[in-house]
Structure formats: C-alpha cells, structure tokens
Homo-oligomer: A and B are copies of this chain.
C-alpha cells in the first residue's frame, strides 16, 4: 500500500489530467500506472518527472530497448520491486525475449560480484584505463 493515496484518472484535476493524457497518448495506452498516480499528489513533481522520462527515454544514441534494459539493470541492483516489475514489462513490450532477459540478469549478477571484489580488495585503477582527457 502506497504511503499516499493515488489520484485516479477520473478524479484528476486539470494540471494532473494534462500529464496523464500525455502519458497515455505517448504510450498508446488507455491507463496510467501507479507510479504516476502516486506522484500526482504533487503536480509539479509529476510533470517534472514525466518530462524527464520523456527526454531521457526518447530515441537517441542508444536503442530504446537497450535503454529499458539498462533501467532493469539498475532496478535489480537497487532491489526496487516496483521498478523491476514495471521496467521488465516495458522491456518485454519493446521486444526483450526470455533469452535476452536471462543474459541481462547474468551480466547484472556478475557485475555485482566483481564490483564487490574490486571494492573489497581496494584495487587501484590501471593507468591504461584512465581517460586521456
């Protein structure tokens, strides 16, 4: 149960409804997921986050599916249940099949293992890895 009540589409005040409409139009869906219905208690944050998501997740130098899988990788690392479910669903909708999901999880798991070995042993960065900026 969320710590604040959710603002449903039917009861949304105009400034919230405008964001909801843009979410549904952008995604081609007729519903809004709980994340936004919780943020809607604070319309300025709702709008800010939605504008951020639109900008960051828009087509760019990376493939949209790759971006969604990076989102899943971060969510698994942070142990965020909501985010793991919602972004895995999004990645599947964008074409991630089971073999790709399994491989994504395998990389995430291994990276978390080697991250802790590097941190635990306090390994110094090789000069060859330092950027020549």
Question: What is the interface residue range for chain A against chain B?
Answer: 35 or more
How many copies make up the complex? 6
Report B-chain residues with C-beta under 8 Å of the C-beta of A5: 131, 133
Interface centre among A35, A44, A55, A121 (most CB of B within 10 A): A121
- Inside 8 A of A99's CB, which chain B residues have their CB? 42, 60-61
Q: Which residues of A contact B (CB under 8 A)?
A: 1-6, 31, 33-35, 38-39, 41-42, 44-45, 48-49, 52-53, 55-57, 60-62, 66-67, 69-89, 97-126, 128-131, 133
Which residue in B69, B77, B120 is a CB contact (below 8 Å) of A105?
B120
A131 adjacent to B4 (CB under 8 Å): yes
